[in-house]
Structure 1
């Protein structure tokens, strides 16, 4: 899994990407010319302190890793919401898989 690191990559996904909103996260997907998918995770300070934010980020990363994404050449940004911490892991994973399936065709 290759990650997004630069600010302009995140901004491009926010401005040009297709989005999907759930109770647990907001998902942005934009098609690129790169030969692989890149993913970035964002957790706002509004969600909680560093321990809480890192726990949510770890849960989302693992949920994304477990999904078999066959589509290529996308930048994906996942913005966590507060409910991502308390939701069941299987629910989080299935919700992420369902929303990615809608946006990545």
Structure 2
């Protein structure tokens, strides 16, 4: 799993598919570069809360991605998780179910 670092990678992912969930939004964009490694990036805006809240949300999103993306992520695609307000209030297991659901929907759409 590779990490997205550049702003251009996040902007490219924003032009891809969007799967909103109550705790986060999943963006998926196939890269088409022949590399089957899934890419992952995280972003949480100041609308979510102060620095402590945003960092907690990013830690939770990282843990979700480490558990789900290597197995159920789309190979050769970039995945961006955008934290939403109230995402920290959702139980972690429920967030994991939401990510599984979003990845399943993404796999169906990308397969078309």
TM-score clears 0.5: yes
**How much has 1:88 moved relative to structure 2?**
0.3
How many residues are treated as equivalent by the alignment?
A: 104
User: Which residue matches 1:26?
Assistant: 25
Unpaired runs of 5+ residues, structure 2, are none
Q: Does 1:77 align with 2:80?
A: yes
Instruction: Pick the structure with more helix per residue.
Output: 2
Unpaired runs of 5+ residues, structure 1, are none
Could you tell me how far apart the structure 2 residues matched to 1:45 and 1:70 are? 27
Runs of 4+ in 1 over 6 A off after TM superposition: none
For normalisation by structure 1, the TM-score amounts to 0.92
> Is the CA contact 2:57–2:83 (under 8 Å) kept in the aligned structure 1?
yes
Could you tell me how far apart the structure 2 residues matched to 1:71 and 1:39 are? 11
Superposed CA offset, 1:65-105 (max 9, x none): 11122631010111110121000000001101110111024
CA RMSD of aligned residues (A): 1.2
Q: Does 1:66 align with 2:67?
A: yes
